[in-house]
Structure 1
Amino acid sequence: MAAVNPLLVVKDLHRSFGGLKAVDGIDLTVMPGEVRAIIGPNGAGKSTLVGLVCGRIEPDSGSILFDGRDITALPAHRRVRQGIAYTFQITSIFPNLTVFDNVALPVQRSQHHSVGVARLRRGVLEALERVGLSDRLDQPAGELAYGHQRLLEVAMGLSLKPRLLILDEPTQGLSDGEIEGFVALVREIARDATVMLIEHNMDVVMSLADRITVLNFGKVLAEGTPEEIRANAHVQAAYLGTPDDE
């Protein structure tokens, strides 16, 4: 059986803001088809790390390889074409546009050639069906409930047919029922894409992640399976709390 190469490799990545070392020598390897959770206390460097991966932030040093290609100097829009899609911690929909147009827009912007109308519509409908919003095509996005706005943003990412989908705090503000639906959605997405997930909800993390990377003060504190992370004394002290606190 042929060896499977990593989809994403981060090597000795550094990024500082003034005197703050937000990302301080991080190494990370993500395999194709994996659901990788990135967790840690507020200010640990999680959003900076994924901002570096998707190209929204430039590193001070280090390298980022995607499917064996060095993309460290590649601008964000070209990383999208390579197959990296990112959803923001705070919804970034266009409230005055319809649900359909919100999903169509990133597809049009990401392509270096024009997309036929039929192909565009097919791609938009497919993405909206996956998140359960196909019955709201003509509704202004700003009229959607908050949970549906988060799902719309996921659809915007899915419409790009990503190989790596980065979700930053996707369950923030969702109800218990919406979270349950989101977990099912991520499991479905992971059938044909790799997922990197920043999430504070530990029930979501433990149920979804194949592996978990724990950041603290811009460094990797621990990495392993959910069971290994739950049992790690250093992680308990820095983030999860001791068993007596549960």
Structure 2
Amino acid sequence: MSLLEARGLICHFGGVKAIDGVDFDLEPGEVHALIGSNGAGKSTLVGLLSGRIPVQAGSIRFDGRDITRLPAHARVACGIAYAFQITSVFPRLSVFDNVALAVQRTGARDLRAGTMAALDRVGLAALADRLAGALSYGHQRLLEIAMGLALAPRLLILDEPTQGLAAAEIDSFKALVRSLPATILLIEHNMEVVMDLAGRITVLGNGRVLARGTPAEIRANPVVQAAYLGGRDADA
């Protein structure tokens, strides 16, 4: 059984069909990439799945449970964590305290151990006492991933996670993703990262699914090549 099943999702903004009848599945333990050109509907679809945008039609099930009408905070409690495209750290709190706030939500008995474990996993343990706002943009991205990991999610949604990362940091990020036990939904403009990490890829265009398949199948798909892989900007 799929971990997440979305059927017939619709979300229109005025006359714009941002998501227009999308079916989408995530299998337990997979890394699934979501790609598409500017305005394809990626951010809207992620908003629907995470509960930050209301579903106008269709359904979403997570681990067999209907979560279509659940708000975002309730979906977090179900095991869905979301690292935003734009960093959402608390700049005036320390790196440690940012992650500790997430660990607190899990009811962990040892707050410090849980916090440091998440920071260590993303390579930020040595910066635990630094103010989050003083970090480089790339390190803020990693901090947000640590905050997501601290929730011990079953599904972790990563929205443009390598944006602002140096080449060495991207290599470390890929190693991190491969080590995670959670199902990963990756929204990413860096096609090298997508093709290297994803087991399956879904391509959106004009609010609809253009194609889905393995990296090899997506590379060979003429519709995808014409609409996306020919060099158009993938940022949503």
State the TM-score, normalizing by the size of structure 2: 0.95
| Cα distance in 2 between the residues matched to 1:200 and 1:182 | 15
| Cα distance in 2 between the residues matched to 1:6 and 1:179 | 29
| Cα distance in 1 between the residues matched to 2:52 and 2:103 | 18
- TM superposition shift of 1:106: 2.6
The correspondence of residues 110-121 of structure 1 with structure 2, limited to 5 A, is 110=105, 115=107, 118-121=109-112
What letter corresponds to residue 198 of structure 1 in structure 2?
I
Aligned partner of residue 42 in structure 1, secondary structure: coil
**1:221 matches 2:229:** no
- For structure 2, list consecutive stretches of 5 or more residues without a partner in the other structure: 232-236
**1:148 matches 2:139:** yes
Match of 1:124 in 2: 115
Aligned partner of residue 110 in structure 2, secondary structure: helix
The correspondence of residues 44-83 of structure 1 with structure 2, limited to 5 A, is 44-83=40-79
Q: After superposition, what is the alpha-carbon deviation per residue over 1:99-124, rounded to whole angstroms, capped at 9, x for unaligned? A: 0110111333x45xxx46x5222211
What letter corresponds to residue 177 of structure 1 in structure 2?
A
| Cα distance in 1 between the residues matched to 2:2 and 2:31 | 13
- TM superposition shift of 1:40: 0.3
| Cα distance in 2 between the residues matched to 1:241 and 1:52 | 28
Aligned partner of residue 92 in structure 1, secondary structure: coil
- For structure 1, list consecutive stretches of 5 or more residues without a partner in the other structure: none
| Cα distance in 1 between the residues matched to 2:63 and 2:21 | 21
The correspondence of residues 30-45 of structure 1 with structure 2, limited to 5 A, is 30-45=26-41
What letter corresponds to residue 210 of structure 2 in structure 1?
L
| Cα distance in 1 between the residues matched to 2:26 and 2:140 | 28
Match of 1:158 in 2: 149
Work out which of the residue numbers 171, 181, 185 in structure 1 matches 2:176.
Answer: 185
Work out which of the residue numbers 12, 22, 26 in structure 2 matches 1:26.
Answer: 22
Q: After superposition, what is the alpha-carbon deviation per residue over 1:22-48, rounded to whole angstroms, capped at 9, x for unaligned? A: 111000111100000000001101011
**1:172 matches 2:163:** yes
What letter corresponds to residue 59 of structure 2 in structure 1?
S
| Cα distance in 2 between the residues matched to 1:122 and 1:52 | 33
| Cα distance in 1 between the residues matched to 2:126 and 2:164 | 23
| Cα distance in 1 between the residues matched to 2:170 and 2:13 | 33
* Aligned structure 1 segments of 4 or more residues deviating by more than 4 angstroms: none
Aligned partner of residue 202 in structure 2, secondary structure: strand
Q: After superposition, what is the alpha-carbon deviation per residue over 1:183-226, rounded to whole angstroms, capped at 9, x for unaligned? A: 1111111xx11000000100000000000000000000000000
State the TM-score, normalizing by the size of structure 1: 0.91
Q: After superposition, what is the alpha-carbon deviation per residue over 1:2-27, rounded to whole angstroms, capped at 9, x for unaligned? A: xxx11000000000111111111000
Aligned partner of residue 121 in structure 1, secondary structure: helix
Q: After superposition, what is the alpha-carbon deviation per residue over 1:155-188, rounded to whole angstroms, capped at 9, x for unaligned? A: 0000000000000011112221211111111111
| Cα distance in 2 between the residues matched to 1:128 and 1:41 | 33
- TM superposition shift of 1:125: 1.1
| Cα distance in 2 between the residues matched to 1:148 and 1:173 | 9
What letter corresponds to residue 18 of structure 1 in structure 2?
G
Work out which of the residue numbers 4, 7, 11 in structure 2 matches 1:11.
Answer: 7
Aligned partner of residue 69 in structure 2, secondary structure: coil
**Alignment length, in residue pairs?**
231
